[in-house]
Structures are given as structure tokens and as C-alpha cells.
Amino acid sequence: MSAVMRPGPAGETAPRSSARRSITLDGNGAVAHVAYQASEVIAIYPITPSSAMGEQADQWAAQRRPNLWGTVPRVVEMQSEGGAAGALHGALQAGALATTFTASQGLLLMIPNMYKIAGELTATVFHVAARAIATQALSIFGDHSDVMAARATGFAMLASGSVQEAMDLALIAHAATLEARVPFLHFFDGFRTSHEIAKIEALAPGDLRAMIGDDLVRAHRARALSPEHPVIRGTAQNPDVYFQAREAANPYYRACPTLVERAMDRLAALVGRRYHLFDYAGAPDAERVIVIMGSGGETVQETGEHLIGQGEKVGVLKVRLYRPFSPEHFLAAMPATVRTLAVLDRTKEPGSVGEPLYLDVAATVADAVARGSAPFARMPRVIGGRYGLGSKEFTPAMVKAVFDEAGRPSARTQFTVGIHDDVSQTSLAYDPDFSIEDPANVRAVFYGLGADGTVGANKSSIKIIGEQTDNYAQGYFVYDSKKSGSMTVSHLRFGPRPIHAAYLISRATFVACHQASFLERFDVLREAEPGALFLLNSRYGSEAVWGHLPRIIQRQIIDKRIRMFVIDADRVAREAGMAGRVNTVMQTCFFAISGVLPRDEAIDAIKRAIRKTYGRRGEAVVRRNCEAVDTALAHLFEVAVPPAVTSQIDLRLPVPPQAPEFVQRVIARMIAGQGDALPVSALPVDGTYPTGTARWEQRGIAAEIPVWDEALCIQCGKCVLVCPHAVIRAKVYEPERLVGAPPTFKSAPARWREFSTDRFTLQVSPRDCTGCSLCVEVCPAKSKSEARHRAIDMMERAPRDTAEAANWEFFVALPDTDRRALNQGQVKDVQLLQPLFEFSGACAGCGETPYLKLLTQLFGDRLVVANATGCSSIYGGNQPTTPWTFDREGRGPAWANSLFEDNAEFGLGMRVALDKQAEQACELVRRLLPHLGDLGPPLLEADQSSDAGIQAQRGRVARLRKALEGIGTSEARDLLSVADALVRRTVWIVGGDGWAYDIGYGGLDHVLASGQNVNVLVLDTEVYSNTGGQMSKATPRAAVAKFAAGGKPTAKKDLALMAMAYGDVYVARVAMGGSDAQTLRAFREAEAHPGPSLIIAYSHCVAHGYDLRHGMDQQKTAVQSGYWPLFRYGPTLSRERRPALELDSKAPSLPLQKYAYNETRYTMLAHSDPERARQMLAQAQEDVLARWRLYEQWAAVLAGREGGGAP
Amino acid sequence: MIDLSTTYLRRPLANPLVCSAGPLCESLDNIRRMEDAGAAAVVLHSLFEEQITVESSYLEWHLSHGEESYAEAVTYFPDLQAYRIGPDAYLEHVRRAKAAVRIPVIGSLNGVSTGGWTGYAQKIEEAGADAIELNIYYVPTDPEMSAEEVERRYAELVRDVKASVRIPVAVKLGHTFSAPANLARRLDRAGADALVLFNRFYLPDFDLENLEVVPHLTLSSSYELLVRLHWVAILHGHVRPDLAVTGGVHTARDVLKAMMAGARVAMMTSALLQQGIEHLAAVREGLLDWMSAHEYESIRQMQGSMSYRSVREPAAFERANYMKVLSSYALRTSARPAAAPDLGG
């Protein structure tokens, strides 16, 4: 093609060695493979997207897998990344080979220790799946913001751009650090590399041994602290010596690049893959060179090769060793012909003249030219730009735009690429149709429903192709922002040449849609190239299916000459006993149609993969999957494509036309998957968004919805209370309001004494329901003539969707019941309060959200929420929409998320500020009393302990505002700005157990001790649910969790007991399924308590492993077994204002096993290690009984009863 | 010297006391205690094929449920290396029980599929069980299925299992058959080595408060022994397989009755759950005391002595028995004239 030389990465210049095997894995797996073997102590803490590295290390240690020296590394989970870094620092000081894995805020928490570790010249490697840092919003996705924040720590920084490189450079880092004594931060792009699955050549243990010298390991140990040869470290220095001492380490940094280079050379000699500190690839006489780090380098290189083929003089300089930055190596690698260097940074440093890499390059070039040591004929231009923030796609089209820009005489600097910046005009225009896809590759895109097995099957297909053919394989998976009913898009490439495309497929040769309902919402053929194959899972056969395709799909099938195939995979799966899991069926069809492998070979391979994947889980599962494979092809048909478009069906609008302007203009685009096209001007400048937006999304994901039988219903309100998504609601209204009701709108006489002449309606929002069935399971009203029929039953949505949607609309417009008329101490009445938390994207059947919804029903119009990072901040605040909403007056919860670790403090700050404002407002009212007439004193003395009192105060504040406008003085204007604070606000600090028990515990403890009037709600799922179920200190003994693969050996931390020790903290342990009345009571008491309150709420979770429709029953069992005793504790409970402890549940009446063994987190241990499970469960049972005895005795002691104080 | 020995499933046993399949047999320690307390054999708890299938499906479903739908949580559980789903744990239990005690260890199997019955039976044999008890619990809910069809299935099943193992095979039956004697004969022809009468099942009970059907099992009482005595007495001498009584055996007197009806062994679980495993020793002592007091020399001597063909009035086992009970009841109640129930009809 041209004189382009690939410098070596990714294996193609390497002779295939028989000692090394090809494996197919993701970047996290590749790094963990090396890090685990090269370490003795591994400190871990979960954070996306790095968690999988720690999980694998923990699992291998649980399986007693040895490291390079034949010993099993100690893996220790800490309470935070700060803790992990501290533990690591200690391990290093004690002479261990130690490592850790992290990302984003986690890395930021490690920075203080990183300075120390580097300052002490201590060899270690931190592996970082680089991720954006929360600024105007959190982002779990990839860029280099975190790494760049650590660049001053003194760590060496090594960047990998692909899965193969991640494995290779991980080893380089472990090898070089021991020799250099400089600690290493090895990083690779979050998700793009950490989660990309690729076929690579695995490093063998012998390679690792050859690279890591035993003498260096011993030298590292010799530097350890030991009483045998004592020294001290971590001293304090004064102005006389600190500076000099800081400079004393310089020689080590000077030597470091050469040592890394040598390690790279040694690796090249071993495995044939050659890396340099700066790898140049491109035309030897390039005039335009892009300088870049990470996976983007792959894309630039591929694009460069393409452009060189067209005669352009371009190249890429991939930075591998970013710190210590070696100008000599940089200049030596750069072609002397270069005229423009375009430096691309995957980070943003607001206010700087450029991003970090740009500044380094500019300084290097300028200095060399000034000194006359530069190789360049004349001073080249250095321009800099930003790309790929938060995993924004970085495609060949964008690379071309950068090269084009670099060729312009007026080339900009501080540009952006990949977005449309219509505010600051920084962005480069690019041609989205520019593509350099290798025509030899199969490029397949699969649309699946989360958890339907599509991604799993695709991962299996990649392994099959990667391991059983000579083809290279790559897989990347895109998930959407919801935890339930979400769409996954799998991007798979297979081909005879190594794949360097670090971007999504935009020209697919194969498209599969695993859920026909996606066709209503998305143009799934947008990526299909002419002649592509299209596989659809549909219940309609090969004849009928055409008539059910939207117009846009028909049009493309005809225009692009797409061959279409259809299968009723749901039926095949159902008949094989695997309802809802279409994965193996669709996988079989993919192989049959795509021809990647001969059909019979493919089927054998799939079955082998099934045996490997499911064999451990029992023969029955294997048998069913194999049956599905065997029957799949008999149900696969090619569709005869008619010559013309016949469809009248259009894609559904992302939001209804009556949605507000911002929702239409911005949020709807995100919902439709077109957020990439939103210009900068469309987005708020400060991360502030309107609430009440989830209502517009109407995702329609439930196959079945609850249907109300008004004759049977006893109007108890339990279904309304437990609904996690606030889709089932009740109202009581005057009969006249029924005028104009839709024909199928139901109502019944209200069963309230106070509303005896009114009507009652229980209404379901059909398009917001997730179909979780919690409501049906909790319904106590059963038919007297047919016991299976309840007052609400699940029924098919499709036939009643339109009617129920109209009913919902009518229902919403009905007036809300006056809060003042309701007894808010009763569940029956609370159901009539409007929830201000609705339609969240939480998992179907979520155990957390019912508590939040209740919170908003009780206090929503004066609620301020500080929300810790975690599940609740994601389903609460992950765009495009938010479930937090407002009432008819426009009042509702004000919500913010700060961080994971500081939420208690964040909430306390809110409280202090609100109290201060109230105080100021009162002071101003007092000063202005002469002007306020009768209004003044009541404003200051208002009793706001009830809704009526609060509403009265709101009325006074409204009058005050009017009065102040007439006064017009400076004081009046001041009072106007703080007048709202005269109405009582309630501050709730909300988060999960990962926050409350672990990372945020220090702050929580401090806030509980503060005496301030804050309320803490801990949604206790007993694991880090949001990051995939890692152990927290709330995890119970005997349960399996990630980081506790052998079952957690210690008891759950009793956070309630610890908080009770303060005496003035209100503490309640609640479980809605155990007693809804007690839950309600606790929420109201906590809010009324003038000091700190803590509610620990049992929250069932998908990570517990059972059908969540039984969540409330399981909560009841938790209470009956004594595992989750219900109680309330506080000084407000006794007349004497001494603390009292009210046990609200009875002594354990069920063996713990009856509770625990309903859940997979416990039974999986019983299946894998029965003896250990037995022992642990026996201990856990003893925990339960001991704790009950303790509580009982304490309650008696506090009550001054006899027998409480057993000696 | 009183001889308590008997034979069962082609093996000599020191006495007729056998621990029947139940939760106690799940612990090796209990099995050792049973031997120490004088049990002559143990039947292990049942291996349920259906349970294995269900557990496998559940485990897979729950482990994979919700995974791969959200970028931060692509899975929710660690990937453990192996699960003991399937018969492995049970077979290991058989092996360990065999190693732990000298008395015969009888495996128990509750299958659903033909392949399951024979396959698991072979595995239990390979694990070292001395015999196998087929715990057949089939509920024919299909109204189209005739009694003949049900019984044919039983017989076929026994024939299949017999053809696949060499160790003796016992069949444990329920008592709701139209023609138990005929069924016994069919199972005899199919090769059954013993008939265990009768199974006690979990029965669906109604929870009136919640309108739910809940499985229910109460411990047996000696009263339940009567139906067993009745049918053992009828079958004794008419079929070749050994007969065993299970259900309602609580005391030495119960064991004696079972022996006299014609059983080779009497099996116990409920009594041991209630009174502890050591109760076996008391029962054994009770046997010796009674036999000594009544001058019996051996158990064999009394086996079948009160069976249908050995009693003076066999009609007592037929409808006449019913008449006799009713009249005796009427006699007793007639002393209280106001409360005479209507027992007619």
C-alpha cells in the first residue's frame, strides 16, 4: 500500500509462539491477569469501570490461585479508595509487592497517598481504567480527566491503547517500577479498552518471570520497614531542607524513561511486540502529525494509513510514557519533516492555555527549537484540541477533520472535535459519512433488551470465533442509562486482520434486532450498509412480519437491498423452558445466517460454549439451551421482500407533543438516542436541569400491567405504597368529577368515613409500569369465589394500553385530596398523597424506591435531598430524565448529588445554610416589624409541626412578599431573598449502604454527632448494588457477594446500634414489607425529631437473587426470622425525653434458613461449598438470636423494667 | 436369649427397626447415632430429580437475572467455579454414610423422568448403597388418566429400574389405590424386592386468612399405623416382596403389631424427631420386655401371625371390620342419648 510501517503493537509482527495462547478477553481481564500474578497484596474498592479487575483478583485469591512466586496474593477490600491507597502505602512500606485498581473519583481519593508513595520512591503500579470526573454531572465513561489530575503526584504514567497493549504495558509497568523505584500509574481508556473484548496473545507466566527480576524484588523488600534494621519515614521537614530533599529524587526520574525503554526492549525480545516511549506510525516524511494517548491512537493510526494511501503526508505519535515526559525521546520519534503537530487531549482543563499533553508538547518543541537541538527544519506549529470526553465517540471522520485542520494555514488551537460547539465555536466540522472500515470484516450490530442474554451470547460468539478460527474478533457493548427495560447494543467485528477500530460500527454487514418492540422507537437499520443481513425476532411469521414493520425500516430494506430473516425466538425459548432468554436461539441464527463458520461447526461450537458456561450450574440448564439451539433453525425463515413500501407505521415520538419546550428540544433528543447531535448551546451551562421529566418518557416496557377490580378492592393502599415506580395511584374525589370520564374509567364508592359520598379510583399508568408485580403480590383482597383473583391482577398490556393511557390522563387531571383532611399516620390515607418521585429507571421491583416515594408523599413540597452516589443517584439523576418531580403549585423536592464519600456532610451543609437563612429571615422580620403590622409576630411564632401549620405559614410568607415589595428598602430586599426560609424545610440525606456503612461512614458519624436537624435514610441493599454487588460492611454473614466470593465471614455491621450509642439520635430500622405502618411511623417521627435521625430501610435488590415480585414477602420473612428486627429508638419516644427503644417486631419465630435460603446470594454458597455454608449459617443464626437478646434487654433497661439487665 | 433378627431386601438384619427416609438422615452424625441406638438399617432422605432440575434452573436464572443491562453492573454475583447442583452431594452423602456405619444403607430416589429414575438409581448403586427405595409420588391430576394407566406406569418404572441395577429395589407406595393388592402383585411381577407401606406426603392445606394453599406435613401418630397394618396383613403371603411398615410406628407395641401383620421391618421417623434418636434403644428394650413377658423367642416367630391368612376371623380385615367399628362406636355413644350422631349413609 505505502511505506507505512506499523511499529509493532498488537502482535502482527510477532512470530506466533506456541508457548503463548490466543485468548479473548477484555481490557480489565488483560490487566488483572498481569497485576495479580505480579503482586502479593492487592487493595481494592469498586468503582466503574475498573471494578472487574478487583473482582477477578478477589475471585482468583478465593480459588487459591498462586502468583508468580507460588503464593496466593492477599486481596483486601477497603472502605474507600482513600482507604485502599492507605492500605497499599502501608503494604509497600512493609515490603510487599502491592497493586490496586481504580478510576475517576477513586483515583482522586488516592492522590494524597500517591504523593507520599512517590516521594518515598516506592515501587508499585496503580492500574486505572481512565474515566471522567464528576463536574457539571457525573459520568461513568472514559476520558483522561482522572489521570491528568494525578500527573503532579510523581507517579510515572504509562498509557495503553488496546486490550493487547493493556496486558503488555501492565507488565512493562510492573517490571520497570522495581528497577526505577518510581511508582507507576498504568492507564487505559475506561469502557473503550476496559470493556472491549478482543482476541489477543496472552503473556505466559514465563514472560512475567523473565521480565520481573528477583533481585529487584528482594531489593524492594530490603527497603521495607523492619525493627531488625529500623529507620523512620514520613518525617516533617522545615524550610531549611524540604526543597532540597524534594530535588534529591531527580536522578531517579531522569533514569526512569530509559529503564522503561529497556523493559520494552526486553518484552520485544520475548514476545516480538515492540513498544517505544513514543511510537510513531505514518509517513516517514509526514507534515502533519497527531500526538495522542490511549485508544484514540489506534483510530488515528488506522485513519492515517488510509489517508497515506491517498497520498497524504500524515502520521501519529502515540504517547506511551507520559510521565516522566522525555523530550529527547519525543523529538527523536517525531519526523523532522513535520510542519504541524496536532496534540489531542482527552481531558479538559478550564482556564488553561491548553490541555496538559498539548502544553508538554508545545514546551518541548519550543525549547528544542530555541536551543537549536530540534530535528525540525523549521519551528513546527503546535495546535491542541479536545476529543472523546466522557466516552464521546472518536471516529476516523474526526481524525480526518483534525488532519485537515492541521493542514490549514489558520489552524485553530483549543479546538474540539466530535461535538457541535455553537457557543464558543471550538468544534471542527467533520464528514460523518467518512469511513475506513475493512471490507474483509464482518461487522455485526445486535439490539437486545437488558438481561435478555443478548450481550452474553455475543460475548460467547466472540470467544467462539476468536478461539476456534484464525479470525480476529472484537466486541464492544453499549448500554443505556436505565436499570430496567434498557436497550443494549452490541458491536462485533470479525476479520482476518488485527482490528484497531476503537469506535462503534456505523457500517454494519449484519443487524439483529432481538426485541421487535425496538422497531417502534429506533431506526435499527440506520447502521446497515447496502446488502446487509437483517435478523428480527418477531412473533409474526415470514409472511405477516412485513406488514408490522415501520415505514422507515421497510424503506431501508428495499433501498439497501437488505436480506431479512425472521424467527419467533421467544416461542422457541419458551418451549425449551427458557422464557425471556432468547440468547442461544438468536446466537444460533446469527451463525446460520452470517456464515462466519460452517453451520454444523457453529452449532457444535455453540453447544460446547453452552456446556462450558452453564455446565457448572447443572445439567438441566445445559439441556434446555441445547434444545433451544436444536430447534432454532427450524423456526428461522427468510422474508420475501416486496418491491414497495406499504407500511403506514411511523416511529413513535420520543415524548408527547404537549411536553414542555426544553423536554421537546433537548431531552427528547437524548431519549431518541440522538443526544450526540445536540449542540453545546442546547445544554445548561451549570448542570442544572428541570425536574418532573420522567413523566414524558413513557417507555412502555411492561408486557403485563396490573388491572383493578373495583368491586373486590378494599382500598387499603398497600399496592400504591409498594409500587417502586409510582405507576399505581389512588384518588378520592367528588362524584361530579366523573363527568367526561373515558368509557373504561373505573371508580368505586370511597371507603372513608370522611369521604363517604365520594368516589375512589385506583389507576395504573400503563406506559410507565415495569410489570414487576409487587403490587399484586401485596394485595390482600382475594375473590371469595376464585382465590387466585385479587383486586389487582396482572394482565396483558397491549389490548388495554390505549384505553388505560386515556384513563391515566383523566385520572392525573382529577384534583388531589387536601392533605389537611388526611390522617398521614395511616397507609390508607397516605396512598392519596401525590408522590413526587415517579417512573424512575430503577430495576423492576426495586426495593429502594418505595421508600423515596413515601418520603416525597409525606414531605415532598418542602424536601431538600442530598443524595450519595450510587443506585439512587443513578435512577434519580441519570439523564435524560429524572423521577423527582413537583406538585401543582410547582413545589417539590430539590435534589443534588455531591460525591459518594461526602453525602452526610453535603446534607449537613444544606441544613446549616437553611437554618442560617431562617435565622437571618427572622432577624430581618424583627427589624421590619414596624412595617409588617399583624403579619410579623405570627411569622416568627408559627407552629409548623403539621401540614396545616406549614400551609398557613406559606400564606403568611406570600403576604410578606407582597408587603416587602411595597417597602423597597435594602433590608426588605434582603428579606425577600431569604423569606422562603421561614417555611420549615426538611433535609434528607439519602444513600445506600456502601456510602453509609463504608466510604461515607466517617462523615455520617460526624453528622449524627452534630445534633443538627437532619434526617438520614439508608437504603440498605447490603451490597454495592450500583457497581454490581460488591460486599459492603452491611453484607450479612454467610451471603456471597463480589469481594466475598467464599461468603462473607463476618457479621453485618450494626449501624443502628452504633448510632443509638449517641443517645440523642433518632434511630429506626424499617422494612416496608415487614410493617408498612411502622415504616410510615418511623418516617414521620424522624422528620419530627429536632435532632439527627437515622432510618435504615431494608431494601430488597436484584443482587439478592430471587424474583423481586416476592420482595415484600421476603421482607416479612426477614422480620419474622429476626434477621431484620423492626424498632424505633429515640429521646422523643418516652415522656421523660430519655431515650426509649420500641421493638416493633416479635422475637424470631422462623429459623434464619427459612429466610436466607430463599435468596441465591446465600444458596449459591450452599451449592458450592455446603460445609462452609452450614457453618456460616449456624453462626449467622446465632448472630440473629444474640442481637435480639441484646435489643430486648436494652429496651427493658431503658424502660426501667425488671429483668432487663442480665449480668 | 430372644432373637430380634429379621431379613429385609435379601439382607439379615439384627432387628426389625429401620430409620425411614427423613430429614434426620441428612446428617452423618445422626446416622451414626441411629446405628448406636440400635437401628438395623437406615433409608437415606430422598434424592429428588425434580429438585435438581428446578435448582439448576433457578440458580441459572437468578445468577444471570438482571445482568448485562446496565454499564456499571454487568453482573451481580461473583463467578464461582462450581456448584454442586445435581446428584453429586447426595451421592457423596451415600458414600460417607456407607463409610460411617456398618448397618445397611438404603438410598432413596424420587424421580420424574424415566431417564432420571434409572440414571440416578445406577449412580446411587455406584455410590455404594446396599439397596434402593423408589419413592414414587405421582399425582395424576389429568382426568383423562385412568387408574390402569397410572398403575401400568408404576410397574414399568419398577421394571426399568430393576433392569438397570443389581442391588435390591424397594418400592414405597401411597395408599390411595383402588386395588392395592393387585398393584402389589403387579409390582411383584415387575421385580420389586420389597413394598414399603405407606408413604406420607406433604398435603396441600388451606391458609384461610390468606386464601393460600400451603404444603403441610404433620408428624405421624400411632393411629396412622392401622391402615398400614391392614394392608400388610392382607398382602402378607400373597406377594413375594418383603413388606415394610412405615408411618405411625412409635412404640415397641407398634413394631410388634407390624411384625404380626407380616412386615419384615418397621420404619420410624416421626417418633425419632419427637423423642430423639435414642428412642430407638427404648423401643428395642420394649420389644425385648414384651417378648420376654409373653414368652416369644424370636421376631420371625411372630411375623405374619396376625395376617389375613393367619387370623381366626379374616373377615375382620374385610368390610365386617367397618361394621364392627361402627357398632362399637354406636354402643359407646348410646350412653349419651342426646349426642347420638348420624353415622348412617
pLDDT for residue A771 is more than 90: yes
Q: Which residues have CB under 8 Å from A996's CB, separation 6+?
A: A868, A1004, A1016, A1018, A1020, A1034, A1055, A1096
The position carrying cell 433497661 is: A1197
CB A1160 within 8 Å of CB A1104: yes
Contact with chain B for residue A624, Cβ under 8 A: yes
Distances (CA, A) of A142 to A48, A296, A502, A734, B32: 10, 11, 12, 55, 61
Kindly state the cell numbers that stand for B104.
445397611
Residue A1109, Cβ neighbours under 10 Å: how many? Answer: 18
Q: Encode pLDDT of A1059-1079 as tens digits.
A: 999 999 999 999 999 999 999
For an interface test with B, the pick among A455, A491, A578, A617 (most B C-beta atoms closer than 10 Å) comes out as: A617
Q: How far is CA B255 from the centre of its chain?
A: 15
Q: Encode pLDDT of A568-607 as tens digits.
A: 999 999 998 888 789 899 999 999 999 888 989 999 999 9
CB A900 within 8 Å of CB A869: yes
Distance from CA of B215 to the nearest CA of A (A): 14
Distances (CA, A) of A1122 to A95, A1127, A1192, A1198, B228: 45, 11, 12, 21, 41
pLDDT for residue B339 is more than 60: no
Say what the pLDDT of residue A1179 is.
98
- Structure confidence at residue B64 as a pLDDT band (50, 70, 90): confident
Strand, helix or coil for residue A850 = helix
β pairing state of A1093-1098 and A1066-1070: parallel
Say what the pLDDT of residue A1076 is.
97
CA-to-CA distance for A147 and A198, rounded, in angstroms?
24
Q: Which residue of B has its CA nearest to A841?
A: B70
Taking the alpha carbons at both ends of chain B, their separation in whole angstroms is 53
Say what the pLDDT of residue A802 is.
96
CA-to-CA distance for B292 and B288, rounded, in angstroms?
6
- Structure confidence at residue B341 as a pLDDT band (50, 70, 90): very low
Say what the pLDDT of residue A19 is.
67
CA-to-CA distance for A1199 and B134, rounded, in angstroms?
59
Output the CA angle B250-B254-B260, nearest 5 degrees. Answer: 155
The position carrying cell 413513557 is: A698
Strand, helix or coil for residue B46 = strand
Contacts of B67 in chain A (CB under 8 A): 451, 456
Say what the pLDDT of residue A5 is.
43
Q: At CB < 8 Å, which residues of chain B contact A?
A: 52-53, 55-60, 62-86, 89, 210-212
Task: Dump the DSSP string for B165-188.
Answer: -SS-EEEEE-S--S-HHHHHHHHH
Contacts of B84 in chain A (CB under 8 A): 1167-1168, 1170
Residues 1104-1123 of A with CB under 8 A from B: 1105-1106
Q: Which residues have CB under 8 Å from A350's CB, separation 6+?
A: none
Sign, CA dihedral A944-A949-A953-A954, equals positive
Comparing CA positions, the residue from A178, A181, A174 lying closest to residue A207 is A174
Q: What ipTM goes with this model?
A: 0.90
Contacts of A482 in chain B (CB under 8 A): 70
pLDDT for residue B336 is more than 80: no
Task: Give the highest mean pLDDT range of A581-585, A887-891, B307-311.
Answer: A887-891
Say what the pLDDT of residue B340 is.
33
Say what the pLDDT of residue B322 is.
52
- Structure confidence at residue B314 as a pLDDT band (50, 70, 90): confident
Q: Which residues have CB under 8 Å from A453's CB, separation 6+?
A: A581, A582, A583, A584, B64, B68
Distances (CA, A) of A547 to A542, A640, A641: 10, 12, 11
Contact with chain B for residue A787, Cβ under 8 A: yes
Contacts of B66 in chain A (CB under 8 A): 450-451, 843, 1102
Say what the pLDDT of residue A257 is.
98
Distance from CA of B249 to the nearest CA of A (A): 28
CA-to-CA distance for A411 and A426, rounded, in angstroms?
11
Rounded mean pLDDT of A1092-1118? Answer: 97
Q: Encode pLDDT of B23-60 as tens digits.
A: 899 889 999 999 999 999 999 998 888 888 888 888 88
CA-to-CA distance for A456 and A446, rounded, in angstroms?
12
Say what the pLDDT of residue A787 is.
85
Strand, helix or coil for residue A547 = helix
Comparing CA positions, the residue from A1138, A1149, A1146 lying closest to residue A1197 is A1138
Distance from CA of B208 to the nearest CA of A (A): 10
Q: Is the pLDDT higher at B66 or at A745? A: A745
Rounded mean pLDDT of A441-466? Answer: 92
Rounded mean pLDDT of A254-265? Answer: 98
CB A81 within 8 Å of CB A110: yes
Mean residue pLDDT across chain A: 94
Comparing CA positions, the residue from A954, A919, A959 lying closest to residue A935 is A959
Of A451, A620, A1043, nearest to B68 by CB-CB distance is: A451
β pairing state of A340-345 and B11-13: unpaired
Q: Which residues have CB under 8 Å from A832's CB, separation 6+?
A: A717, A730, A731, A732, A816, A817, A822
CA-to-CA distance for A797 and A153, rounded, in angstroms?
57
Q: Encode pLDDT of A844-872 as tens digits.
A: 999 999 999 999 999 999 999 999 999 99
Say what the pLDDT of residue A1082 is.
98
3-state secondary structure B127-156: CCCCEEEEECCCCCCCCCCCHHHHHHHHHH
Contacts of A59 in chain B (CB under 8 A): 78-79
Say what the pLDDT of residue A1202 is.
56
CB A880 within 8 Å of CB A693: yes
Report the largest interatomic distance among the alpha carbons of chain B, rounded to a whole angstrom.
82
CB A23 within 8 Å of CB A197: no
Count Cβ–Cβ pairs < 8 Å, chain A vs chain B: 155
Predicted TM-score (pTM) of this structure: 0.91
CB B131 within 8 Å of CB B193: yes
Residue A582, Cβ neighbours under 10 Å: how many? Answer: 29
Of A1028, A1167, A1170, nearest to B72 by CB-CB distance is: A1028
pLDDT for residue B282 is more than 90: yes
Let me know if A237 is exposed, middle or buried by CB neighbors in 10 A (0-12, 13-18, 19+).
Answer: exposed
CA-to-CA distance for A703 and A698, rounded, in angstroms?
14
pLDDT for residue B84 is more than 50: yes
Rounded mean pLDDT of B195-217? Answer: 83
Of A63, A874, A1102, nearest to B76 by CB-CB distance is: A1102
**Which range (A161-170, A326-335, A1021-1030, B202-211) has the least confidence?**
B202-211
- Structure confidence at residue B319 as a pLDDT band (50, 70, 90): low
Segments in A63-144 forming alpha helices (H)? 81-93, 104-119
Peptide bond into A656 cis (omega under 30): no
Q: How far is CA A497 from the centre of its chain?
A: 34
Residue A609, H or E segment = helix A599-614
DSSP A997: I
For an interface test with A, the pick among B80, B88, B208 (most A C-beta atoms closer than 10 Å) comes out as: B80
CB A75 within 8 Å of CB A88: no
pLDDT for residue A525 is more than 90: yes
Contacts of A782 in chain B (CB under 8 A): 210-211
**Which range (A202-206, A950-954, A1133-1137) has the least confidence?**
A1133-1137
CA-to-CA distance for B74 and A1052, rounded, in angstroms?
25
Segments in A94-204 forming alpha helices (H)? 104-119, 145-149, 163-180
Q: Encode pLDDT of A460-519 as tens digits.
A: 999 999 888 899 999 999 998 888 888 999 999 999 999 999 999 999 999 999 999 899
Say what the pLDDT of residue A1009 is.
97
